[in-house]
Every structure is written in structure tokens, then in C-alpha cells.
């Protein structure tokens, strides 16, 4: 069997979609640190994609730059995915721990992130007629990531293929529920905050007045 450094394992997993995760799991490898860096890079990729895509391809509304949606679309979505998947699969005989799900999923994102960076880079040097190059790179990265993600979930929980697809579908639904509850929670807390803030203002008026 193989013996790699942590980065070496990452490379191994990415370039061996079939048995990479099996080896990773067998050797009980995978680094949380690297996983977090990957998620951070995903966020940066989103920002780069919006801000640095060549002018002729950039469809973003450049007058306002709001980082919050990008943050939500990358980091928040990722962790919701992890939590939703864990919460669901522990109930359905999944063997994955939350740490492993996080690491394996993050590793699967690397081709997508690399594809994004590359296509953004290329977009600055090509014209619209050659846009196909940019798109090919982007979609190859995306497709590769999808394959890896399915493998990651399959291996981490030791599922069969149909079970994996099913669990992914349910995970997406669970993500929606979690996000909905989060929004609800935030708005509730906001109301609490508004309530407290108004009491505070009221009091300050009393004392001043």
C-alpha cells in the first residue's frame, strides 16, 4: 500500500477517482487543515470568478460588490452540506464521522476550484469566439468534482451506488431545511435585537430627558 504526505494523499485521491477514497479510508488519512484551506480557496474562487473574469465575459453587476452572498454560496453551503449529510446518514447506517465527511467532501472540491481559477485566468486572454476553451475547463472541473463527491459520500458511509445517490438527494433537501431554519432563526434574533435596542433607546431618552 501507499504511503504519502498529506498533500500527496490529496493528489492521490484526486487522480484516482475509483480507489483513491478507499485507500484514504483504509489508511485513516486526510487532514482537516487541508480541508479547511480548500474551503477557503473555494470562497476565494467565488470572489475571483466575480471580480477578475475578463471584461468581455464578466456579467456581474460591478457597481456593488457584496461579499455576503459569495460567502454564503461557498462556506455556508459547504458546512451545511457536511452537517446535513452527517445528520442524515448517521440515521441510515452511514459509517462516516462528521470530520471524515468534511475532509472527504472538501477534497472532492479541488478540481472544481482549480477549474474555476484556470478558466478565470484564461478568460483574460481569449476573445468571445474562443469562449469554448474557458467553458470546457470550467465544466470538466465541475464534472470531475461531482464524480469525486459521489465517490467521497459512497466511501465515507460505505454505501452502494444507488444508496449514495439517494443520500445525496436527501442531503440537498436537508440543506434546504437547515437553511430555512437558519434564516428563521436569524430573523427571530433580529427581532429580539430590535426589541432590546428599542428598550435601550427608550431608557436613554428617559435618563437624558
Residue 127, interface with another protein (CB under 8 A)?
yes
Confirm or reject binding of residue 121 to another protein (CB under 8 A): no
Q: How many CA atoms lie within 13 A of 109 on its CB side?
A: 27
> Which 56-95 positions form the footprint of another protein (CB under 8 A)?
56-58, 61, 63
CA–CA dist 72, 152 (Å, integer): 23
- The rounded distance, in Å, linking the Cα atoms of 169 and 159 is 14
- Cβ proximity to another protein: between 5 and 97 the closer is 5
207 binds another protein, rule: CB under 8 A = no
Question: Considering CB under 8 A, how many residues would be counted as binding another protein?
Answer: 18
Q: 12 is written with which cell numbers?
A: 492521490
Nearer to another protein by Cβ, of 5 and 204: the residue is 5
Between 29 and 154, whose beta carbon lies closer to another protein? 29
Piece of the chain touching another protein by CB under 8 A; list 3-11, 16-24, 31-39, 135-143? 3-11
**Least distance (Å) between residue 101 CB and another protein:** 25
Give the residue from 112, 105, 145 showing the smallest Cα distance to 45.
112
Per-residue exposure over 10-48, b if at least 16 CB sit within 10 Å of its own CB, e if not = bebbbeebeebbebbbeeebbbeebbeebbebbbebbeb
- Compute the distance between CA of residue 9 and CA of residue 129 in angstroms, rounded to an integer: 39
Question: Between residue 39 and residue 58, which ones bind another protein under the rule CB under 8 A?
Answer: 55-58
Is residue 37 within the footprint of another protein (CB under 8 A)? no
Residues that bind another protein (CB under 8 A): 1-5, 7-8, 11, 55-58, 61, 63, 125, 127-129
Amino acid at each position: 500500500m501507499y504511503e504519502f504526505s498529506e498533500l500527496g494523499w490529496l493528489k492521490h485521491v484526486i487522480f484516482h477517482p475509483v480507489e483513491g477514497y478507499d485507500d484514504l479510508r483504509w489508511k485513516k488519512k486526510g487532514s482537516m487543515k487541508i480541508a479547511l484551506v480548500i474551503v477557503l480557496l473555494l470562497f476565494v474562487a467565488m470572489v475571483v470568478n466575480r471580480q477578475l473574469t475578463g471584461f468581455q465575459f464578466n456579467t456581474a453587476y460591478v457597481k456593488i460588490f457584496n461579499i455576503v452572498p459569495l460567502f454564503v454560496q461557498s462556506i455556508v453551503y459547504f458546512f451545511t452540506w457536511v452537517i446535513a449529510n452527517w445528520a442524515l446518514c448517521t440515521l441510515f447506517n452511514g459509517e462516516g464521522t462528521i470530520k471524515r465527511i468534511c475532509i472527504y467532501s472538501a477534497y472532492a472540491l479541488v478540481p472544481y476550484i482549480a477549474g474555476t481559477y484556470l478558466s478565470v485566468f484564461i478568460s483574460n486572454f481569449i476573445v468571445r469566439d474562443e469562449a469554448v476553451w474557458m467553458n470546457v475547463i470550467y465544466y470538466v472541473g465541475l464534472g470531475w468534482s461531482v464524480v469525486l463527491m459521489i465517490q467521497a459520500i459512497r466511501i465515507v458511509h460505505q454505501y452502494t451506488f444507488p444508496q449514495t445517490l439517494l443520500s445525496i438527494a436527501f442531503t440537498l433537501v436537508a440543506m434546504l431545511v437547515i437553511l430555512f431554519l437558519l434564516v428563521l432563526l436569524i430573523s427571530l434574533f433580529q427581532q429580539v435585537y430590535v426589541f432590546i435596542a428599542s428598550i435601550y433607546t427608550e431608557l436613554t431618552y428617559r435618563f437624558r430627558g
